Amino acid sequence: MALKISLMPIVSDGHGDLCASIEEMVVDSLRSVGVGIQVYSNPDDLKSASDFLLVGLGQWGRGSVREALREAPKYGVRRTLWQLETLPPPEILKSIAARFLLRRTPDRVTGLARLADKLALKRISRETRGPPWCYGDLESRRFSLPFREARRIRAIWRDGLVDKIIVSMESRLNFLRSIGVDSTFVPLGYHPLWGRPLDKMERDLDVVFIGIPTPARMRLLDHMQARLSGAGFHLTVVERDCYGDQRTELLNRAKILIHLRNYPWELTRMRMLMAMGCKALLMAEESEDIKPFLPGRHMVMARHENLADTAIYYLRHEEARAEITQQAYSFVSTELELGKILGKELME
C-alpha cells in the first residue's frame, strides 16, 4: 500500500493499559499489511506522510492534536479520526437538555458552565428513564463522557480539521448523522493482543464476568450465581486488575464470558473481540447493534432473565458451544483482522 501514516500517540486519561495496547495494535497491524507508519511527535513528521490518523480514545482533544490537524493540509496530508469512545444514543436530540450540551464548545472553563452542564446531565438522566429510551436509573455522570466526545467531534468537523471519521458501531454513525457529521462504519478489527488461544489451557471456569459490578449488574449477577449454583456450575466475577496476558489466560480458562452493556444503547466491541480471540463463548444481553457479528453463529444473546438458563444450556452442550467459538475465532482472525480492515479503509 502506498501509504505513509503518521499516528497521533494515544494519551491515557485513566485507562493507560488500553491506550498503549491499541497504539501497539495499530502500528503492528498496519505494518503487517505494508503500510508505513510512524508515531507523530511534531509537525515535521507530516512532511513525509500521506495520512494522519487520530484515534479517538483517551485525551485526544488536547491542543497539540488541533495543532497537528491544522498543519496537515499544508503538506497534502489526509486526516482521519477513528472514534473508539462512546457517543450519545441515537435520537437523543429529542431532549432539550441534550441539544443544550451539544451546542457548546468542548471547553469548560468556568464554574457556571460546569454547573449548567451538571443540571443538563441530570435532566437527561431523568428523561431517559422512560420511553422512548427506557434506560432505567442511569446515573447522570455516565452521560458526561459521550457528550464530551460528541462536542469534540462536532467542533473539529465544523472547523474543517478532519477529512474522514470512522466509527465502529452503527449507533454511533446514526448519532453523528443526527448532528450533521458525516462518518463511515468500519467494524473494530481483531489483533492477537485482544486475546488469543493458548495451547493446553484447561477451561476450568464455567462462566466469567469481567467488569465493575454496579448495583444493577450485581442484582443480575446474584440471580445468575444462584441459578448456576443450583445446576452445579459457578460464576466468577473479576472486578479489577485484569489486563493483557493475565486477561488472555483468564479467558482461555473460561467456557463462557458474560458481556453486559456498559451503556444501555451499545455493546462494547473490545470485550467481544477479547472473548472470541480466546475461544470463550460470548454471551451478551440482547441488542440490535451487533454488526458484523451474527447471533447463534459468532455469539449467543439472551434477555436478562434468560441469561443464566442460556448459559446452563451451553455448559451442558459442549459441542454446540465449541462450534460457535470456533466460528467466531475463524471470523475475527481472518475476515476481521485489524490491519486488513483499517488499511483498506485508509486507502479509500
pLDDT in tens, 254-299: 999 999 998 999 999 999 999 999 999 999 999 989 999 999 999 9
Residue 116 lies in a domain: no
Q: What is the DSSP string of 196-264?
A: ---TT----EEEEEES---HHHHHHHHHHHHHHHHTT--EEEE-S---HHHHHHHHHHEEEEEE--SBT
Residue 234 lies in a domain: yes
DSSP 10: P
Cα Dmax for the chain: 66
Q: State the Cα–Cα distance between residues 280 and 41, nearest whole angstrom.
A: 39
Residue 157 lies in a domain: no
DSSP 193: G
Residue 260 lies in a domain: yes
User: Sorting pLDDT into bands at 50, 70 and 90, what band is 176?
Assistant: very high
| C-alpha cell at position 316 | 451442558
For residue 243, the domain's CATH number is 3.40.50.2000
For the cut 70, the answer to whether the pLDDT of residue 14 exceeds it is no
N residues, the chain: 348
Residue 254 lies in a domain: yes
Residue 163 lies in a domain: no
| Mean pLDDT within 49-64 | 91
Q: Return the H-helix or E-strand segment holding 27.
A: helix 16-32
**2: three-class secondary structure by DSSP:** coil
User: Sorting pLDDT into bands at 50, 70 and 90, what band is 20?
Assistant: confident
Mean pLDDT of the chain, nearest integer: 92
Domain boundaries, position 329:
192-334
Residue 286 lies in a domain: yes
Q: At what angle do helices 318-334 and 307-316 cross, to 10 degrees?
A: 100
Q: Return the H-helix or E-strand segment holding 4.
A: strand 4-7
Q: Cβ(165)–Cβ(81) under 8 Å?
A: yes
* Number of domains comprising the chain: 1
Per-residue confidence (pLDDT) for residue 107, from 0 to 100: 57
Global pTM reads 0.93
DSSP 303: -
Cβ-in-10-Å burial (0-12, 13-18, 19+) of 153 comes to: buried
Return the higher-pLDDT residue of 110 and 326: 326
